[in-house]
Amino acid sequence: MFEHNSINLDLLRQRAFNLRWATVPEGVIPLTAADPDFPCAPQIAEAINSYVSGRYLCYGPPTGLPLFKNAMAQWFREKRSIPADPDLLFPVDSAASGIYITCRAFLQPGDEAIIFDPVDFLFRYSVEAVGAAAVPFAIPQGEPSVDFDGLEKLITAKTRMLCICNPLNPTGKVFTKAELKQFAAIAHKHDLVILSDEIWSDIVYAPHTYTSIASLDEETHKRTITVTGFSKSYGLAGLRIGTLEAGTKAYFDRLLDASLHTSTIHGANTIGQVAAATALTQCQDWLQQFVAHLTRMRDLCVAGLNDLEGVRCKAPEGCYVAFADITGTGRTSKEIADFFMLEKKVAVVPGLRQWFGDGAEGYIRLSFATSEAILGDALSRLKK
């Protein structure tokens, strides 16, 4: 399933945008946006075909199709130990949108939200889009412990929200239960809403294990909005489908209100919901094999990067991206990314503020959700 011959490069060159195959010059390998090179599970294609063949593509309910809500609630309960209620979750048109809706619902202009640094740009973008200030909390790659005292020092009278990204894109850190308990304790002490982006939570490498912060206890669930999506685990980015889950009716109502779903101005399309429900109910074996393949690609990628002069890379605990320290090259991350692109024909994401915050300088990020042949080709180009 994850062999090289399952990858259709002709279709990727037509369909994979966002810094990937359809946007790079011929001959360039794009290890850029975290979107797999593999096609989605066949069960998802069959479910979409079967739904569309009915030829009724009507309005869905603003809070989601029952099929989706029930599959999602069951999955949260069984796989994440979150006591989710189908009536307190709804589909959104991507995890990105889920982050933004949560910011709209809980932040006012002038408020502050803590975001990790480095972290995916969506957090800063969403917080600032609603007029609030994003306050970066440094979680450098490879630091053995999280500086919880430092976190508390960042909290002011204006702080409303703590944004958690677990597993953490781009460093690949998977937070332990003990660490999540400390985040929760700080949120309780300062009465903060917790936004927990768990889109990467399926992609965790043994011996690391995943804990959702909302599963810790009832109090924590009540103040947490769990965001997840289907772009990373199932390769459904183009369907723009994700989920928001709340621990209370009051929080759910605020989210739904901020989403504008009831007005039909926004909403999650029904095909995406069918695909997502199928992913959760029929594609767990596919996912397991995907993670097994990714484990091998991670090891190959990390070994290949550590083989390059001036580059050091720690194995990510989760996510399918390698975040490599390039400070030993004496160049900036932008210079290295440009050099790789021009001289090696390998596209990577430079550790710029616009992608991951200030804490990413000195790093580049490479996605390894591809075949062994493509990854091997990219690494040998870099080695030369």
Ligand X SMILES: Cc1ncc(COP(=O)(O)O)c(C=O)c1O
Q: How far is the CB of 27 from ligand X (least distance, A)?
A: 25
Q: Which of 39, 83 has the CB closer to ligand X?
A: 39
Task: Please pick, from the candidates 37, 112, 117, 197, the single residue that binds ligand X as defined by CB under 6 A.
Answer: 197
User: Residue 20, exposed/middle/buried by CB under 10 A (0-12, 13-18, 19+)?
Assistant: buried
**To the nearest whole angstrom, how small is the minimum distance from the Cβ of residue 165 to ligand X?**
5
Cis peptide before 86 (omega within 30 of 0): no
Is the Cβ of residue 17 or residue 110 nearer to ligand X in the bound state? Answer: 17
Confirm or reject binding of residue 213 to ligand X (CB under 6 A).
no
Interacting residues with ligand X between 236 and 275 (CB under 6 A): 237, 242
Which residue of 169, 220, 270, 333 would you call a contact of ligand X, by CB under 6 A?
A: 169
Cβ-Cβ contacts under 8 Å for 225 (sequence gap 6 or more):
102, 105, 106, 193, 194, 195, 196, 244, 245, 246, 251, 255
How far is it, in rounded angstroms, from Cα 359 to Cα 169?
12
For 247-282, letters b (16+ CB in 10 Å) and e give beeebbebbbebbebeeeeebbebbbbbbbbbbbeb
Shortest Å distance, C-beta 216 to ligand X? 20
B/e letters for 305-338, b = 16+ CB within 10 Å, e = fewer, are beebeebbbbebbbbbbbbbbbeebeebbeebbe
Structure tokens, 42: 């066949």
Which of residues 231, 243, 278, 370 is near ligand X by CB under 6 A?
231
To the nearest whole angstrom, how small is the minimum distance from the Cβ of residue 138 to ligand X? 17
Comparing CB distances to ligand X, the nearer of 215 and 231 is 231
Which of the 8 DSSP states describes residue 342?
Answer: I
Closer of 162 and 237 to ligand X (Cβ): 237
Nearer to ligand X, 247 or 272 (CB): 272
Q: How far apart (Å, rounded) are the C-alpha atoms in residues 140 and 15?
A: 34
Q: How far is residue 268's CA from residue 29's CA, in Å, rounded to a whole number? A: 32
Size of the site for ligand X (CB under 6 A): 14
CA distances from residue 179 to 116, 193, 198, 274 in whole angstroms, order as listed? 14, 17, 15, 35
Question: For residues 219 and 132, what is the distance between their CA atoms, to the nearest angstrom?
Answer: 26
Is residue 222 classed exposed, middle or buried when 0-12, 13-18 and 19+ CB atoms within 10 A define those classes?
Answer: middle
Q: Which of 94, 259, 370, 371 binds ligand X (CB under 6 A)?
A: 94
Provide the minimum distance between the beta carbon of 99 and ligand X in the complex, in angstroms, as a whole number: 7
| Cβ atoms 331, 343 nearer than 8 A | no
Residues 6+ apart with CB under 8 A from 204: 167, 174, 210, 291, 317, 318
Angle (nearest 5°) at CA 355 between 346 and 362? 70
Name residues contacting ligand X, limited to 107-136 (CB under 6 A): 120, 122
- With CB under 6 A as the contact rule, which of the stretches 82-90, 92-100, 137-145, 178-186 interacts with ligand X? 92-100
Residue nearer to ligand X on the CB measure, 310 or 370 = 370
Q: Check residue 96 for interaction with ligand X (CB under 6 A).
A: yes
Part of the chain binding ligand X (CB under 6 A), chosen from 15-23, 94-102, 250-258, 360-368:
94-102
Give least dist CB 237 to ligand X, A.
5
Which span (3-11, 93-101, 215-223, 302-310) binds ligand X, by CB under 6 A? 93-101
Stretch that binds ligand X, among 14-22, 91-99, 107-115, 347-355 (CB under 6 A): 91-99
Choice between 169 and 211, CB closer to ligand X: 169
Exactly one of 7, 82, 95, 135 binds ligand X (CB under 6 A); that residue is 95
Asked whether position 364 contacts ligand X by CB under 6 A, the answer is no
What residues make contact with ligand X under the rule CB under 6 A? 34, 94-96, 120, 122, 165, 169, 197, 199, 229, 231, 237, 242
